[in-house]
Amino acid sequence: MSNFKSLVSGVGNLSKITKYYDDWSENYDETLKLWNYQAPKKSIKFLKETINTKPKNILDLACGTGLFGTELKKIYPKSTIYGSDISKKSLKITLGKKIYTKLQIKNFEQLHHFKIKFDFISLIGSMTYCKNFDKLFANINKNIKKKGFVLFTHRVDLWKQQDFISILKKHQKTLKINKISRPLNYLPSNKDFKNKIKIKIVLLQKY
């Protein structure tokens, strides 16, 4: 992508992010394959090593074109997976993959309203775009079951800048920290990320 540089430094406000991912949607999967996008597979590995329960209902926030949903379906073929994202065009591509039972165009900082509560909520490769963590965690808290798990990735460079551990500790009363991975490669075949910008994988559990 010609405007790729902004991916490291941020894309801008919500409408700019929406347009960015809408415009990228048709070759997003192909580009991420070229960059050797590691977050979905590494998150699944981390998950399998950490929990042994099989979630019945899953909500994949910022599901994009369904790259993480595809991996979820492999390990939890019987689970019902819902997804949401702000990019309508990405969701159109996801729809064709037949992974998700329900897809919604929605900002993850807005409360999602579903008839069911979820055993597991994920947010993979997307914490970068969060502008208001309180709103995101309010949405997660509203939709997660007691004892349910929340799995997300976050860039280590942003984690440091935002003092992200303090943000997690602030929400510990409702979402306790279960496990945090060491820094892992994110987009190793991308020249701007390589082994310079890494991610951590985090698992929280609802009290």
Ligand X SMILES: C[S@@+](CC[C@H](N)C(=O)[O-])C[C@H]1O[C@@H](n2cnc3c(N)ncnc32)[C@H](O)[C@@H]1O
Binding residues for ligand X, per CB under 6 A?
14, 17, 21, 39-40, 62-64, 67-68, 85-87, 90, 107-109, 124-126, 129
Q: Please give the residue whose beta carbon sits closest to ligand X in the complex.
A: 64
Can you tell me the distance from the alpha carbon of 68 to that of 151, in angstroms, rounded to the nearest whole number? Answer: 11
Contact between 69 and 83 (Cβ < 8 Å): yes
Calculate helix-pair angle for 67-75, 39-50, nearest 10 degrees: 30
Closest approach of Cβ 138 to ligand X, in Å? 14
CB of 70 to ligand X, least distance (A): 9
Name the residue nearer to ligand X (CB basis): 33 or 147: 33
Q: Which is nearer to ligand X, 164 or 172 (CB)?
A: 164
**Given the structure tokens 């981390």, which residue do they identify?**
46
State in angstroms the smallest separation of the CB of 186 from ligand X: 10
Return d(Cα 173, Cα 104) in angstroms, integer. Answer: 29
Residue 108's nearest CA partner among 124, 86, 92 is 86
Nearer to ligand X, 52 or 95 (CB): 95
Tell the smallest beta-carbon distance from residue 27 to ligand X (Å): 13
| Least distance (Å) between residue 196 CB and ligand X | 17
Give me the sign of the Cα torsion angle 147, 166, 106, 26.
negative
Q: Which is nearer to ligand X, 113 or 173 (CB)?
A: 113
In the bound state with ligand X, the residue whose beta carbon lies nearer, of 1 and 172, is: 1
Residue 24 CB-density burial (10 A; 0-12 exposed, 13-18 middle, 19+ buried): buried
